[in-house]
Amino acid sequence: MANTASARKRIRQTEKRTQMNRARKARVRTFLRKVELAITGGDETAAREALKAAQPELHRAATKGVLHRNTVARKLSRLSARVKALGTAATA
């Protein structure tokens, strides 16, 4: 257990930050799930809209340090490729 006032404050701050990070990560997962559902449903316009909504949330998570920026770039790249493939499959 922390003995000094500064250590107790640090524990409080860490708990608060952990809660915010968990919430942000859960929010990102929700946005990603919406894109995945639209892709599996085969709805190209819904997938595009979901991806457009997910992009800023993912970038925000990278900015806040919840996710690494390369992780965000990889996820967005793979999702956009899948959405794009959905569009070419519909036209072919």
In this predicted structure, what is the pLDDT of residue 90? 62
What gap in Å lies between CA 27 and CA 68, rounded to an integer?
A: 16
pTM of the prediction? 0.85
Question: Quick check: 38 pLDDT over 90?
Answer: yes
Per DSSP, the residues of 19-77 read HHHHHHHHHHHHHHHHHHHHHHHT-HHHHHHHHHHHHHHHHHHHHHTSS-HHHHHHHHH
- CATH 1.20.58.110 assigned to domain 5-91? The reply is yes
For residue range 41-68, what is the model confidence (pLDDT) as tens digits? 999 999 999 999 999 999 999 999 999 9
Report whether 58 contacts 72 (CB < 8 A): yes
Q: How far is CA 8 from the centre of its chain?
A: 31
Residue percentage of the chain with pLDDT more than 90: 90
